[in-house]
Amino acid sequence: MRTDNYARQQYNRACQVMPGGVNSPVRAFQSVGGIPPFIQCAEGAYLLDSDGNRYIDYVGSWGAGILGHAAEEVVTAITAAAKKGVSFGAPTEHETEFAELLRTALPSLQCVRLMSSGSEATMTAVRLVRGYTHRPYIIKFAGGYHGHSDSLLADAGSGVAQLAGSTSSGLLNETQQYTLTAKYNDLNSVDALYHTHGDQIAAIIVEPIAGNMSCVPPLPDFLPSLRKRCDQHGSLLIFDEVMTGFRVDYGGAQTLYDITPDLTTLGKAIGGGLPLAALGGRRDIMTHLAPLGQVYQAGTLSGNPLAVAAGIASLKSLASDGFYQRLTKNTQHLVNEISHIARTENIPVHCQSVGGMFGLFFGVSEPITNYSQACATDKTLFTTFFHAMLNEGIYFAPSPLEAGFLSRAHSAKEIDATLAAVCKIFPTLRR
Ligand code: HOZ
């Protein structure tokens, strides 16, 4: 049974100096209630909190921790880099090496700009496509979350869904009016936007596997059709692979589904847990970025030596033979068994996974293909499940709209322990 006496004290103290006691909203447990664990340390697949509770972690720093916590090669690389200086604000050879590794993994990245967060990468992608095409409109999908820049917060999933009216305040109509929203997995909704806005659409930005409305894979025709629409209308296709890059395949979702986007954003797993993100794609578009072009983007910590060292070490390990086959197999095994237990216990749960990411949808038995379906799932049942599992030492994402993640460190032992907890908890969920 989880104890949270010390976490309560820490949470109250944190709330005095930080909004909601956290530095990123979903961590505050608003969607499930209760006090978040305050993490002391983490190793492999496990988190240890300040009350001494140990958890098998399926959040994995929201996907960044694909090698497991405190992965030896990453810690060694960061330590060695730190001894040589932690930030220069000037070019290093390692940045080039890292960009080359990215290009080898994702050949569509002919040219790459490194940054510190996925939000920066997507924000820059939007500015770049507008600068390149001289068109104002962007199409995104309801429930798609592309970081927190103004024009991309429209109809966003993840923590935005917790806000009153599911929208952020502080956004000017002027920044919103050029963001058009379509329905994920629904080509007709995209066509309708092209019908009304025609040749004014600069780009479609899409999570090729939606990961901020839990985990929603694309229907077979969806991504190829987006590629086609962009080509027909002279728009650019941006794959936001901040979550899926190096998560579902070494080459991301674009390799898995064999689609070549014009631009790609990366983050999370590429930095092995350090703040590292990238925007890359066609050279003729990327050269519109300053200093070559007129589209401005900059960052003091961009290409930071510690982050790049962690990134290089991570990508080398992720390239090892069979990594994604094992990760995918383990993830499939976890969700297949959860589905099996759910059927046996007569609990309505539908599970979806791609590569090392997954989603559990409570109160439904059919596949979830879009945001409105994801929002209509049984949040109360999820919340009961979430807290019961936390008490059993299993840490799933504290929201029904967040995806779950496995890492290299999740072995049969951790998966079996998780399934044993599910076997114990599901019968208690019957109403
Ligand atoms: N953007 C993450 C959810 N999809 C949350 C990041 C965090 O809280 O660290």
Query: Is residue 24 in contact with ligand 1, taking CB distance under 6 Å?
Result: yes
Number of Cβ atoms within 10 Å of the Cβ of 400: 27
What kind and span of H or E run contains 362? strand 357-362
DSSP SS3 for 301: coil
Strands 179-182 and 201-206: unpaired
Enumerate the H helices of 117-186 as residue ranges: 118-133, 173-176
Spatial CA neighbour of 399 closest among 5, 48, 62: 62
CA torsion angle for 401, 361, 121, 92 (degrees, to 10)?
110
Rounded-to-integer distance, Cα 113 and Cα 181, Å: 27
**387-417 residue pLDDT tens:** 999 999 999 999 999 999 999 999 999 999 9
Q: How far apart are CA 61 and CA 69, in angstroms?
A: 9
Ligand 1, atom 2: nearest CA belongs to which residue? 62
What does the alpha-carbon distance between residue 64 and residue 273 come to, in Å, rounded to a whole number? 5
Helix ranges (DSSP H) in 240-322: 252-256, 283-286, 305-318
Q: What is the pLDDT of residue 408?
A: 98
Residue 383 confidence (pLDDT):
98
Residue 225 has a pLDDT of 98
For residue 165, name the pLDDT band (cuts at 50, 70, 90): confident
Which two three-digit tokens encode residue 269?
A: 């797993």
- pLDDT score for 360: 98
330 CB less than 6 Å from ligand 1?
no
pLDDT number for residue 430: 80
Q: What is the dihedral of CA 424, 425, 430, 431, to 10 degrees?
A: 130
Q: Output the pLDDT for position 44.
A: 98
> In the chain, pLDDT over 70 holds for what percent of residues?
100
- Find the 61 Cα to ligand 1 centroid distance in Å: 8
Tell me which residue has its CA closest to atom 3 in ligand 1.
158
Q: What is the DSSP letter of 3?
A: -
Residue 167: which pLDDT band, with cuts at 50, 70 and 90? confident
Average confidence (pLDDT) over 10-20: 97
Q: Is the CB of 146 under 6 A from ligand 1?
A: no
Distance CA 38, CA 28 (A): 11
pLDDT-derived band at 164, boundaries 50, 70, 90: confident
Is the Cβ atom of 241 under 6 angstroms away from ligand 1?
A: no
Instruction: Give the chain's largest Cα–Cα span.
Output: 63
Q: What is the pLDDT of residues 32-82, one digit of tens each?
A: 999 999 999 999 999 999 999 999 999 999 999 999 999 999 999 999 999
E strand segments, 188-248: 201-206, 236-240
* Residue 20 CA, ligand 1 centroid: distance in Å: 15
Q: Are strands 349-354 and 357-362 parallel, antiparallel or unpaired?
A: antiparallel
Determine the Cα angle at 143 with ends 139 and 242, to 5°.
80
User: Which two tokens mark 83?
Assistant: 């001894």
Encoding tokens for residue 99?
A: 């960009």
Pick the atom of ligand 1 nearest to 23's CA.
Answer: 8
Residue of 137, 268, 324, 371 marked active site: 268
Report whether residue 148 contacts ligand 1, using a CB cutoff of 6 Å. no
pLDDT at 201: 98
Q: Going by C-beta distance under 8 Å and a sequence separation of 6 or more, which residues neighbour residue 371?
A: 141, 142, 143, 144, 155, 157, 183, 184, 210, 213, 216
The per-residue pLDDT for range 238-282, each reduced to its tens digit, is 999 999 999 999 999 999 999 999 999 999 999 999 999 999 999
- Considering the chain, tell me which residue range(s) the CATH 3.40.640.10 domain(s) occupy: 72-318
From 18, 26, 160, give the residue whose CB has the most ligand 1 atoms within 8 Å, as the site to mutate: 26
**pLDDT of 206-227, one tens digit each?**
999 999 999 999 999 999 999 9
- Written as one letter, the residue type at 172 is L
Q: Where in the chain is the domain with CATH 3.90.1150.10?
A: 5-70+321-430
Per-residue model confidence (pLDDT) at position 431: 67
In this structure, whether the domain defined by 5-70+321-430 belongs to CATH 3.40.50.150 is answered with no
**Of 267, 281, 285, 293, nearest in space to 111 by CA:** 281
240 tagged catalytic: yes
DSSP strand E in 4-84: where? 39-43, 46-49, 54-57
The model's pLDDT over 285-333, given as tens digits with 9 standing for 90+, comes to 999 999 999 999 999 999 999 999 999 999 999 999 999 999 999 999 9
Residue ID of nearest Cα to ligand 1 atom 8:
24
**DSSP per residue, 76-122:** HHHHHHHTT-S--SS--HHHHHHHHHHHHH-TT-SEEEEES-HHHHH
| Joined tokens for residue 56 | 């098998």
Q: Specify the pLDDT at position 405.
A: 98
Token pair recorded at residue 143? 């429930």
Residue 212 in contact with ligand 1 by CB distance below 6 A: yes
What pLDDT is attached to residue 266? 98
User: Is 316 known to be catalytic?
Assistant: no
Q: Does residue 159 register a pLDDT over 70?
A: yes
Name residue, tokens 């401005």: 296
Please give the number of the atom of ligand 1 that sits closest to the Cα of 212: 4
**201 token code pair:** 């659409």
**pLDDT value for 29:** 96
User: In testing the pocket of ligand 1, which one of 18, 23, 24 has its CB within 8 Å of the most ligand atoms?
Assistant: 24
Q: Provide the terminal-to-terminal Cα distance of the chain, rounded to the nearest Å.
A: 23
Ligand 1 site, residue 122, Cβ cutoff 6 A: no
The CA–CA distances, whole Å, from 291 to 101, 279, 296, 298 equal 23, 15, 8, 10
Protein fold of 72-318: Aspartate Aminotransferase; domain 2 (3.40.640)
Contact present, 2 and 375 (Cβ < 8 Å): no
Structure-token match 């976890």, residue found:
334
